[in-house]
Amino acid sequence: MRRCATPAARPRIRPLTEVVLRSMATVLSIADALRERFAQAISTAFPDAADSDPQLRRSDRADFQANGIMSLAKPMRANPREVAARVLENLGSDQVIANLEVSGPGFINVTVTDAAILESLAARAADARLGVGSDAEAGVTVIDYSQPNIAKEMHVGHLRSTIIGDALVRTLEFTGEKVIRRNHLGDWGTQFGMLIQYLVEHPAELGDDTEPEDVGPSMSRLNRLYKASRAKFDSDADFADRARRRVVQLQAGDAETVASWQGMVDESKIYFEAVYARLGVLLEDADAVGESYYNPMLADVCADLEASGVAVRSDGALCVFFDDIKGPNGEPTPLIVQKSDGGYGYATTDLAAIRDRVGLLGANQVLYVVDSRQALHFQMVFETARRAGWLPDNIRALHLGFGTVLGKDGKPFKTRSGETVRLMDLLDEAVDRARTVVAEKSPQLATEELEDRAKQVGIGAVKYADLSTSRTRDYIFDADRMVSLNGDTGTYLQYAYARIQSILRKAPDGATPTAHQNLALEPAERALGLLLDEFGTTTDLVAETFEPHRLCAYLHSLAAAYTAFYEQCPVLKAPSREVTETRLLLCQLTGQTLRQGMDLLGIGTPERL
């Protein structure tokens, strides 16, 4: 079972005790506690509507509002305000609710006590996971992301897949899921005939190291090799023939051919790992399970599909057809699992991968962070796998598409010369800009320290720019925005974190961050405290929806609430020791929450900027 984060997804309200017993460290959020109580009150007042959702939400008119009364009253043909009154009668009283009020057509506005907020803060600050539970019944997720191609430069599309995938891996793991990463390298296929053949005919090509560049000498050589062989392939028919024969030799396992292929793979991996290291993502060599890995399984996959009748021969190719998928001419468009020349395409590889991931790795959820343009492909692959029995109904398969990266002209992003932007150049520019700003603000820094901060800030800015926008939509690539250090950026979060650490370092001797329960809270303190209480709800939501931008939005509002608090509520110069200690706790917990949340996004939190 997956965790149920959103009220709508919650099938029924469980008794409070059951929730608490799930994990001793888990802190029930104030919102969840209120939701339970409203559900109980509705159930008691109107037993026939026991499953009615109170629709408890944050409110700009009070701390919370319950919106469910109107939809509850409707089928009863009752006055919503009277229904609200009945519910309130059954709500009981305790130390959490400070004020209740029926408002407008039937909203119930809820104000909670300062003590309830302080209690939540104290409990969360005392727990390493900030009071957020980990689902003991979580499953196994295999997530496929990054997917660069051998002998080709990574581009902004790979960047997006890599960054989004990394954030999802971290977030899913945080919620308790067992996550298996898969980097489905493009390391197999017909293009390798061209590359290998060119290399055989121009053996000096890979050895030439006269042009060491920042992207790494290996990649610039491979890139040149790719372009040269492509040009030769397109212009020289004889070479194209030799290249096609070379593909056959590769698939047949010819020693010299395989060695040449392996050399390119190894060379490319050096480059990929350099990119991953610079980005600070979790992907490692063991996660790189490329298309070639599935090569030995392809014949078997096809044989199974044909034997079971899922796939049939059509024009010499082995195809799977679908009733509702047709081409421009009205003819059905198949998924081709074996070409008429006997070769296999990526569809077959994807099918083999599903079989492997579900059957061997034990996944009960398989995810693909891939450009949205491949939606139809995955629809066909998943449907085929279902028919073949490799993807049972209780296993979830999802294509987590992301929008195409567009240039300012609204067309897929290219540089002026029509080439894809080099990833390392983009990252270098981001780090360069960050270094300039950091050096300006902290001129005394040693080189090593400066470099470390510049990297965390620059890379963090790139990641945040990518993660903070909704995953699905296309987005306009804007290098200035991506490496911007002002506004709604990763740097804003890092700055808030650094200021928190600064204030904690200056805490007077003997002042321990403590939530003194008897204190009355300022508005900015209450706002911050209530927001801190929502962290677990947010991470659950991200794990449910696979939308990291919701965590970005949460962290940004948290940082904004902190700076408002910072402006309005002196910490070190507070009127009393108790107030100082309570505010220190707010600072500390905000810092912990920012650090944890940014870690889930893969963004670093330097102690100082």
Restricting to residues 559-588, name those near RNA by CB under 7 A: 560, 563-564, 566-567, 569-573
The nearer residue to RNA, 239 or 475, going by C-beta atoms, is 475
The nearer residue to RNA, 419 or 478, going by C-beta atoms, is 478
Q: Which of 253, 296, 327, 575 binds RNA (CB under 7 A)?
A: 327
The nearest distance, CB 296 to RNA, in angstroms, is: 16
DSSP string for 504-544: HHTPPTT------TTPPPPHHHHHHHHHHTTHHHHHHHHHH
Length of the chain (residues): 609
The nearest distance, CB 208 to RNA, in angstroms, is: 27
If one asks whether residue 227 binds RNA (CB under 7 A), the answer comes out as no
**Closest-CA residue to 197 (of 232, 243, 152):** 243
Q: Which of 301, 381, 498, 600 binds RNA (CB under 7 A)?
A: 498
User: Treating both helix axes as pointing N-terminal to C-terminal, what angle do 255-279 and 423-441 enclose, rounded to 10 degrees?
Assistant: 30
DSSP string for 418-470: SPPPPHHHHHHHHHHHHHHHHHHH-TT--HHHHHHHHHHHHHHHHHHHHHSS-
The nearer residue to RNA, 179 or 431, going by C-beta atoms, is 431
Q: Which of 18, 48, 238, 315 binds RNA (CB under 7 A)?
A: 315
Q: Which of 16, 49, 70, 258 binds RNA (CB under 7 A)?
A: 70
The nearer residue to RNA, 107 or 179, going by C-beta atoms, is 107
Q: Which of 214, 373, 392, 508 binds RNA (CB under 7 A)?
A: 373
Q: Which of residues 499-538 bind RNA (CB under 7 A)?
A: 499, 501-503, 506
The nearer residue to RNA, 121 or 559, going by C-beta atoms, is 559
Q: Which of 133, 148, 189, 602 binds RNA (CB under 7 A)?
A: 189
Locate tokens 């053949």: which residue? 197
The nearest distance, CB 532 to RNA, in angstroms, is: 17
If one asks whether residue 109 binds RNA (CB under 7 A), the answer comes out as yes
Q: Which of residues 17-46 bind RNA (CB under 7 A)?
A: none
Phi, psi dihedrals of residue 576, rounded to the nearest 5°: -145, 165
Q: Which of 21, 376, 415, 432 binds RNA (CB under 7 A)?
A: 376
Residue 52: helix, strand or coil by DSSP? coil
Residues in contact with 173: Cβ distance below 8 Å, sequence separation at least 6, in sequence order: 179
If one asks whether residue 334 binds RNA (CB under 7 A), the answer comes out as yes
Q: Which of 23, 59, 111, 420 binds RNA (CB under 7 A)?
A: 59
The nearest distance, CB 604 to RNA, in angstroms, is: 13
The nearest distance, CB 433 to RNA, in angstroms, is: 9
Stretch that binds RNA, among 130-138, 170-178, 186-194, 512-520 (CB under 7 A): 186-194
The nearer residue to RNA, 491 or 593, going by C-beta atoms, is 491
If one asks whether residue 345 binds RNA (CB under 7 A), the answer comes out as yes
If one asks whether residue 7 binds RNA (CB under 7 A), the answer comes out as yes
Residue 573: helix, strand or coil by DSSP? coil
Q: Which of residues 470-489 bind RNA (CB under 7 A)?
A: 470, 472-476, 478, 481, 485-489
CA distance 343 to 320: 16
Residues in contact with 583: Cβ distance below 8 Å, sequence separation at least 6, in sequence order: 525, 569, 570, 571, 574
* Single-letter amino acid, residue 252: A
If one asks whether residue 68 binds RNA (CB under 7 A), the answer comes out as yes
Buried b (16+ CB within 10 A) or exposed e, 407-420: beeeebbbeeeeeb
The nearer residue to RNA, 120 or 348, going by C-beta atoms, is 348
CA distance 265 to 151: 8
Q: Which of 15, 105, 359, 508 binds RNA (CB under 7 A)?
A: 105
CA distance 449 to 445: 6
Q: Which of 195, 215, 288, 317 binds RNA (CB under 7 A)?
A: 317
If one asks whether residue 591 binds RNA (CB under 7 A), the answer comes out as no
The nearer residue to RNA, 190 or 517, going by C-beta atoms, is 190
**Closest-CA residue to 68 (of 39, 48, 36, 100):** 39
The nearest distance, CB 392 to RNA, in angstroms, is: 24
The nearer residue to RNA, 155 or 453, going by C-beta atoms, is 453
Tell me how far CA of residue 123 lies from CA of 23, 26, 29, 374, in angstroms. 13, 9, 11, 46
Q: In this structure, what token pair is assigned to residue 588?
A: 């500390």
Q: Which of 284, 326, 523, 577 binds RNA (CB under 7 A)?
A: 326
The nearer residue to RNA, 179 or 603, going by C-beta atoms, is 603
CA distance 223 to 195: 11
CA distance 332 to 398: 24
Cβ atoms within 10 A of the Cβ of 266, count? 11
Stretch that binds RNA, among 11-19, 156-164, 262-270, 408-416 (CB under 7 A): 408-416
The nearer residue to RNA, 206 or 564, going by C-beta atoms, is 564
The nearer residue to RNA, 46 or 139, going by C-beta atoms, is 46
Spell out, one character per residue from 426 to 465, where the chain touches RNA: x when CB under 7 A holds, - when not.
--------x--xx--xx----------x---x--------
The nearer residue to RNA, 139 or 556, going by C-beta atoms, is 556
The nearer residue to RNA, 8 or 128, going by C-beta atoms, is 8
Size of the site for RNA (CB under 7 A): 108
- Residue 83 burial by CB count (10 A; 0-12/13-18/19+): exposed, middle or buried? buried
Q: What share of the chain is helix, strand, coil (3-state, %, to 5)?
A: 55, 10, 35
Residues in contact with 203: Cβ distance below 8 Å, sequence separation at least 6, in sequence order: none
